[in-house]
Amino acid sequence: MGQATIVDSHCHLDFPDFDAERPEIIARAIEAGVERMVTICTRLRNEPAVRAIAEANAAVFYAAGTHPMSAAEEPLATFDELVTMSKHPKFVGIGETGLDYHYTAESADIQKESLRIHIAAARETKLPLIIHARAADDDMARILAEEHANGAYSCVMHCFSSSPELGRAALDLGFYLSMSGLATFPKSQEVRDIFASAPIDRILVETDSPYLAPKPKRGRRNEPAYSVHTAAVGAEVFGMSYDDFAVQTTANFDRLFWKAKL
């Protein structure tokens, strides 16, 4: 691996998978060359615990929102609630939010309502929106475009694995695509092709840990240190050296997640 550091732009350090060794997980990431991590709160009632992890670790920043798969069982996030949370110095993004019709299509209406609230908060705070999209490409593209027409905001399509059409729609709005371990899997050539056709200045790297461990760690619990394996594949996709890809994606992260810039 090269010497340039990278950023894990999306992980879930508060999940119980990490309870037994959270400090060691963070230390391993830094040792592997992951200089910063954004840990994502997916239910707002967990925000104090997620915030505490960021406060205790210089390398960790955080974002908060209501995950679309939880939208029907959690209280609806409010604009004021999200804007108030965003005032914390280590709060750097709004979400994750979005639409998931794969597992939770029956809550589509509340998911859409929740998504629009998060978009309004992202617009107000100037912080990036963090989007989860699965099996909802048409609605996702339509709502992102409608809302962008109402007032610009920034956004990353986290763990991007949707259609080329949604990828192009997001890029056309000026948004970013984030590459997870899923892009390293042998059967993910279509996903790699989508990334390869995207502008290099619009690409981020993430783990989504504890999920989606990349090759050669596939099948294990994922952790932020493993984002170096995804970055190595990303460098291949773009025909770049690891160091050049690391420097570019870190610059992209700093541009989008401006509050987390060192």
In a domain, 55, yes or no: yes
- What local confidence, expressed as pLDDT, does residue 3 receive? 81
Return d(Cα 145, Cα 167) in angstroms, integer.
13
189-234 tens-digit pLDDT: 999 999 999 999 999 999 999 999 999 999 999 999 999 999 999 9
* Domain containing residue 138: CATH number: 3.20.20.140
Residue 1 lies in a domain: no
Count of structural domains, the chain: 1
Across 240-262, average pLDDT: 97
Query: Is the confidence at residue 1, as pLDDT, over 70?
Result: no
Asked if 42 and 62 count as a contact pair (C-beta separation under 8 A), the reply is no
82-137 pLDDT tens trace: 999 999 999 999 999 999 999 999 999 999 999 999 999 999 999 999 999 999 99
Domain span including residue 126: 6-260
What is the pLDDT at residue 142? 98
Q: In this structure, is residue 197 part of a structural domain?
A: yes
CA distance 157 to 169: 11
pLDDT at res. 44: 98
Q: Residue 2 above 90 pLDDT?
A: no
Inter-residue contact 154 to 174 (CB < 8 Å) = yes
- Rg over alpha carbons for the chain, rounded to the nearest Å, is 17
Per-residue pLDDT band for 262 (boundaries 50, 70, 90) equals confident
How far is the C-alpha of 158 from the C-alpha of 208, rounded, in Å? Answer: 8
Within-domain flag for 186? yes
Could you give the dihedral angle defined by the CA atoms of residues 139, 211, 95 and 229, in that order, rounded to the nearest 10 degrees?
A: -100
Whether 144 and 151 have beta carbons less than 8 Å apart is answered as no
What's the predicted TM-score (pTM) here?
A: 0.97
If you average pLDDT over residues 53-61, what whole number do you get? 98
Within-domain flag for 42: yes
Q: What is the DSSP string of 102-140?
A: HHHGGGHHHHHHHHHHHHHHHHHHTPPEEEEEES-HHHH
For 158-199, what is each residue's pLDDT tens digit?
999 999 999 999 999 999 999 999 999 999 999 999 999 999
Percent of the chain with pLDDT over 70: 99
C-alpha 68/C-alpha 253 separation (Å) is 24
